[in-house]
Structure 1
């Protein structure tokens, strides 16, 4: 039978722990108080080049926030500049070059902004940009009926199917609830307006598939049962659509509409600046840069602590050796007690 013997020895913890030092040695490797408040003043907000050169300076989540803010700010700033130029030139009978630049910005919005600006020039840092749309003919699903099972199909790549069972004599809200259970698997969400109209929403990166490859098959009541019926989703008008029309054909009242879009961009840029200030404050709190004097003092304290570690290691080695060579008589005496 294995026996264990406990001896009173002076030992160090075998698990990782802060370094202990003997009296008179440095008791901490922390940064000196006198130097703790001395920090180099950095830029108010990191530039994109800084992120690529020193990617480990910030954590991953903060890096993503910085990148999103920078892309959104860059896109809105360039769009605002081009819209101002378009308005200035169009009111004087020109603007062809500016219109071309504006249309390019609208077409490449998702790429240039990194998906951080939606179709209404709203900044969406924490979530995907959404597209609101309607489905003509879908309102009849909300009408009381004997019930029907609908199968929705989304193509344009890997074919996705989902079934929705509308209960007999369901109220509009009950039918809407069942609709969301099924369509939610396709990333589509439906809401009911105060006027009783059904509106749908989907992430913008799925809109191309939904707008061209969304179909439904029923049981012969609301929709045919022999084949899928291709639906015709219609996106709600957006500021992006409005700007595109103004760029292609400037009208006498276009200045007022353009001004509304510019004010929207100004509001969103103001929100971005506030977000930048919060991120900058967080970066300042996370700063771990040492001044030369601070680094020297810390190195000295660490060296002193390590120098005194040899003596304590020797004591631990002797204690372990003694415990492993205890005689049988000693063991019997200890157990007899």
Structure 2
């Protein structure tokens, strides 16, 4: 059973399959129809149209949203379980309860390894802030010398900025005294958006640069600027450092050498667990929204009786030995993948 189709599915009437004429009775499509519906189902005109419309509304984007959310949820729940175990052992250790030697260090390494798979395990739906999104996860970063305090001061100057190789990567930003922070951010955003870099005023009051995580390495290693001698040197493009934002969770900074380190690590683990649980709630909200979309797209109650009859006919056909049984089963399994099954189970 395929859970999403981008085009309407034709309801098969008795004696036809996939638009074939009755003369095509020996075609595989007709055999498949008979195998799945040993007792033919003829939807009424009032039933057939909503049925086709409901199936068509199970669009590919919606299926992708569900699959991505389920991947993110699987990663987050695994992370939460590991953090809870680590929190428990840290608490026991600090309370002088028996803890197996090396177990805390092993759990820190285990979570660190899990965290490093965030991008692939979540299907690119979770960024380093644990923000869930349908678009590819973003890497946020800062650029040395491009603080708003530095940029808003000084006279008129045109900055030439290169992100990537080649002359086509050169962009210009015009600055002058009196610009607001939002205006400065907008000028940078307009200039760099074609290069895949977006710019906004961050929560800390400075410029927040971002680019898809998959593009980060190229952006990091090729960010150059040339000024007019006011804010940045003139003459030629000069490479400046782009620094990635500290991730929401950084297990590389969790240490266990002594009691003070254990207490600090416990505090960081508790904070990390709270962030993961908040992300789980966010992803569950996205799944609930997708579920509501599915309910809207689902066939009306009048259609369920016909579908129930199709299901019962499939059971009857598949339980009989022979070619028709084999054809019924293989036809039903066509197009099913692990991701689709997991996505449907996630809606329960």
Interval containing the TM-score (normalised by the shorter chain)? 0.5 to 0.7
Unaligned runs of 5+ in 1: 1-25, 37-54, 297-337
The RMSD of aligned alpha carbons is: 3.6
1:270-312 CA distance string (max 9 Å, x none): 233343334334434525661228999xxxxxxxxxxxxxxxx
Residue of structure 2 equivalent to 1:190: 199
Take 2:206 and 2:294, find their aligned partners in 1: how far apart are those partners? 47
8 Å contact kept, 2:154–2:230: no
Q: Distance in 2 between matches of 1:276 and 1:237?
A: 28
Distance 2:166 2:72 in 1: 29
Against the structure 1 CA distance between its residues 281 and 192, is the aligned structure 2 distance closer, same or farther, given a 3 Å change threshold?
A: closer
Query: Take 2:198 and 2:253, find their aligned partners in 1: how far apart are those partners?
Result: 29
Matched, 1:30 2:46: yes
Instruction: Map 1:48-197; keep pairs closer than 5 Å.
Output: 58-90=58-90, 91=93, 92=99, 94-124=103-133, 126-139=134-147, 140-145=150-155, 147-155=156-164, 160-167=169-176, 169-173=177-181, 174-192=183-201, 197=206
| Equivalent pair of 1:116/1:128 in contact (CA under 8 Å) | yes
CA contact (8 A) 2:255 2:262 kept: no
- Per-residue deviation at 1:27? 11
8 Å CA contact 1:152, 1:161 repeated in 2: yes
- Normalised by the size of structure 1, how large is the TM-score? 0.61
- Structure 2, unaligned stretches of length 5 or more? 1-41, 94-98, 314-348
**Equivalents in 1 of 2:292, 2:184: separation in Å?**
48
Q: Is 1:233 the equivalent of 2:242? A: yes
Contact 1:143 1:172 (C-alpha < 8 Å) held by counterparts: no
Residue correspondences, number: 246
Q: Distance in 1 between matches of 2:43 and 2:109?
A: 68
Specify the alignment match of 2:270 in structure 1.
259
Residue 202 of structure 1 is matched in structure 2 by: 211
The two structures have a TM-score, normalised by structure 2, of: 0.59
Structure 2 partner of 1:43: none
Deviation at residue 262 of structure 1 after TM alignment: 1.0
Q: Give, in whole Å, the separation in 1 of the partners of 2:205 and 2:69.
A: 38
Taking a change above 3 Å as real, the CA distance of residues 191 and 78 of structure 1, as seen in their structure-2 partners, is same
Classify 1:231/1:292 alpha carbon distance in 2 versus 1 (closer, same or farther; 3 Å).
same
CA distance in 1, matches of 2:110, 2:187: 45
How far apart are residue 74 of structure 1 and its match? 0.7
Greater alpha carbon shift after TM alignment, 89-98 vs 263-272: 89-98
Instruction: Please state if 1:275 is matched with 2:286.
Output: yes
In the alignment, is the contact (CA less than 8 A) between 1:133 and 1:236 conserved in 2?
yes
Of residues 294, 298, 301, the one that matches 1:286 is 298
Return the alpha-carbon distance in structure 2 between the equivalents of residues 244 and 100 of structure 1.
9
